[in-house]
Amino acid sequence: MAISRLNEREYYKKIYGGWLGKNIGGTLGAPMEGKKELLNLTYYPSLPDGPLPNDDLDLQLVWLHALEQYGVRLTAAELGQEWVEHVFFPYDEYGYALANLRRGLVAPVAGWFNNPFTHCMGSPIRSEIWAMVTPGSPQLAAYYAYQDAIVDHAGGEGVYGEMFFAAIESAAFTDSNRDRLIRTGLQYIPDHCRTARAVKDLLVWHAEGKTWLEARELILERHGSSNFTDAPQNIAFTVLGWLYGEDFGDAILKAVNCGYDTDCTGATLGAILGIIQGADQLPEYWVKPVGDGVAVSPPIKGFPAPRTLDELTERTVRIGKRVAAEWNLPLIIDKDAVTHWAAAGEWQADDDEYDVKRLWNRKSSANVYYLPKGTSRNLGLELTVDYGLQGPAIGLEQRKTIGYRLMNRSKEAWEGVVRLDTPVGWQGSDEQRFSLPPGAEMEGNWTIRSDAKTEPVYRLSAHIVRLHDGHEWNTETVDFRLVAATEWSIGADGGKPKRAVFQGNRIHFEDLPKLGQTGSYRASTTMIIPSDRDVRLITATVEPVKAWLNGRLIINSPVKQPFMPAFHRAPAKQLAELTLPRGEHLLEIEVAQSEDPPELYVLAVSQRTTGTPGSFYYYSDVLFIAKTDGES
């Protein structure tokens, strides 16, 4: 493969330009975030003293730290650990993923399970770091983006959005042609995904001569969502600004003036254009207000964040050199090099593990573990634990089947036994013998049954015992988790209530008889609070809803509301903030019926004022257990 050369100073300028463009676009759009109407900005809505803090950049500072701490072969497992240690954001998908990570779940299951926000913008906004450390290698950038996005968006459009942007931004180090770059990005996401369809429709409308305003309306009509953070519409707005913008400023203004997730659209487009143009070519008119500073949001903490764009860029360059060496990229980054991009110099995956198109088809319900534990390369045994579509939750005295696959990726045969340890009092599965030549695999199931003891988290351990000469040689252990399901007594007007077990916070009434427009559904449970605390109790649904706690009406939302099961921005009428003592509390909910059975999320989170960690975090130790009489 031909070798490309990149002058280190030019590399620095493009990275600096990307971070600077990120700051400019994010600072422009941040004050308008969430406004769905057409905007009319012509400059920053308020001139800041330096850039505004923004999660678009905040999280990438954490990922830089992760690359420095764990090395450049890091995966979703290490990034998940970074979330728990350094990120205290409660927002939408962040909050749900953090709740799962704190309970011991790992990606992709942690990003998928019980998460109604997997199609949102939280991951597409943090693509730049992966592109900047993989200049000219869009496939590797997309691989990194996948590892990042599945921590909080597994199974959703957020994954494809981050892969799309990371591939574009990596290729932008070698190519400034807009249309080719967009086509490059589309190569790394599935044709059928909503993000690809939205971008490809926009390209057609642009080619047909539609104005940017007409294109905006068509995006909303064909690909829009009431949730302003939904990824496909916002990714299309970002590309719209690029297609219709006459220069840097006009491009980011058009993206932001489309409304919706404005800090994200402006910041990502600013970064793309900053990489293409380099720091020296960005207009002083836009650069001066943000300067060289790096603003960090208070919930991002516990690591040495860079204080300036210069420091951020220098650290990014150092990691880029390490990536090129460790991944054997066909690229030399050197102070004395004359930049030259070879025609056939892009890195190509030589292993299924890194093949982006194969990643599209990986199950979000399954976790993959490399053995021996701690390895960064998949060269030994590979254990896949598949929780199934019901996810990693189990109710009291409930039977559950967990699938597993053991694959030998080493160059010698393995013989041994697979067994599963479950909590005391549970019923487990028999151990299974295996004999695996190199490249072979075996599949099986563990069928388990829980007991009547209630815990927020249940710890299980899979043991792969290797046999040598018929005797035990050593044991590799993989610890994983199940979490407590939520249990309710649910019923409809005139019907007998029945006990129902739900895998997460979503209560659904589809199995009950459909009602008329004036009917209602009811759900009751015992909420178990392990210690005295301030609680924000949320009943998120579109329909009118009421809730009683210990017989007292605490929520009365008499009209339809936007569906927003977020910890920090649920409709005010659908929540109550209470100080609750330790113990059991009877929670009863009534939801009005419309055309279809309603969707309802019931959430217990912290209030705004907390100590450590930050506000509105999920109370993972609060249990919902049905103690009323009802049919199973």
Cis previous bond, 581, omega within 30: no
Domain housing 433: 372-483
565 within a domain of the structure (yes/no): yes
Instruction: Identify whether 416 is part of a domain.
Output: yes
Q: Pick the last residue of a domain from 483, 507, 528.
A: 483
- Return the CA Rg of the chain: 26
Cβ–Cβ < 8 Å for 310, 318: no
Answer yes or no: do 477 and 490 share one domain.
Answer: no
Residues 455 and 527 in one domain: no
Three-class DSSP category at 205? helix
pLDDT averaged per 10 residues, the chain (length 632): 93 98 97 97 90 94 98 96 96 98 98 98 98 97 98 98 98 98 98 98 98 98 97 98 98 98 98 98 97 95 96 98 96 95 78 85 95 86 96 97 96 95 95 96 97 96 94 95 97 86 93 74 96 98 97 97 96 97 97 87 96 89 81 41
Q: What is the pLDDT of residue 628?
A: 57
Residues 434 and 558 in one domain: no
- Type of residue found at 21: G
- For the domain that residue 152 is a member of, what is the CATH number? 1.10.4080.10
User: b/e string for 506-525 if b means 16 or more Cβ within 10 A?
Assistant: ebebeebeebeeeebbbbbb
What pLDDT is stored for residue 631 in this prediction?
44
Which H helix or E strand runs over 366?
strand 366-371
Q: What is the CATH number of the domain that holds 473?
A: 2.60.40.10
Q: Clarify whether residues 479 and 493 are in a common domain.
A: no
Q: Is residue 358 part of a domain?
A: no
Supply the DSSP symbol for 295. Answer: -
Verify that 95 and 192 share a domain, yes or no: yes
Instruction: Tell me: do 457 and 598 sit in the same domain.
Output: no
Q: Per the domain annotation, does 46 fall within a domain?
A: yes
Q: CA-CA distance, 539 to 547, in Å (whole number)?
A: 8
Inside any domain, residue 168? yes
Q: Does residue 589 belong to any structural domain of this protein?
A: yes
Query: Is 363 inside a domain boundary?
Result: no
Q: Is residue 233 part of a domain?
A: yes
Determine which helix (DSSP H) or strand (DSSP E) holds 479, and give its type and residue range: strand 471-484
Tell me the CATH number at 557: 2.60.120.260
Residue 374 is predicted with a pLDDT of 82
User: For the chain, give me the number of helices (H) and strands (E)?
Assistant: 17, 22
DSSP H/E element including 414:
strand 414-421
Count of CB atoms within 10 A of residue 82's CB? 21
CA distances (Å), origin 294, targets 50, 57, 280:
8, 9, 18
The verdict on 226 and 343 lying in the same domain is yes
The answer on 285 and 177 residing in a single domain is yes
| Domain end position, chosen among 432, 449, 483 | 483
For residue 45, cis peptide bond before it (omega within 30 degrees of 0): no
Let me know whether 105 and 210 are in one domain.
yes
Q: CA quadruple 592, 593, 595, 600: dihedral positive or negative? A: positive
From residue 529, alpha-carbon distances to 58, 367, 550, 584, 604 in Å are 33, 31, 13, 6, 10
In whole angstroms, give the CA distance from residue 256 to residue 258.
Answer: 5
Picking from 420, 451, 483, the residue at the C-terminal end of a domain is 483
Same domain, 331 and 396: no
123 vs 119: CA distance, rounded Å? 9
Pairing relationship of beta strands 4-7 and 331-334 according to DSSP bridges: parallel
Total tally of structural domains belonging to the chain: 3
Q: Are 264 and 131 part of one and the same domain? A: yes
For residues 399 and 328, state if they share a domain. Answer: no
Q: Pick the closest to residue 601 from 624, 578, 584, 626 (CA basis).
A: 624
- The C-alpha atoms of residue 249 and residue 236 are separated, in whole angstroms, by 18
pLDDT of residue 517: 64
Cα separation, 141 vs 170, in Å, equals 6
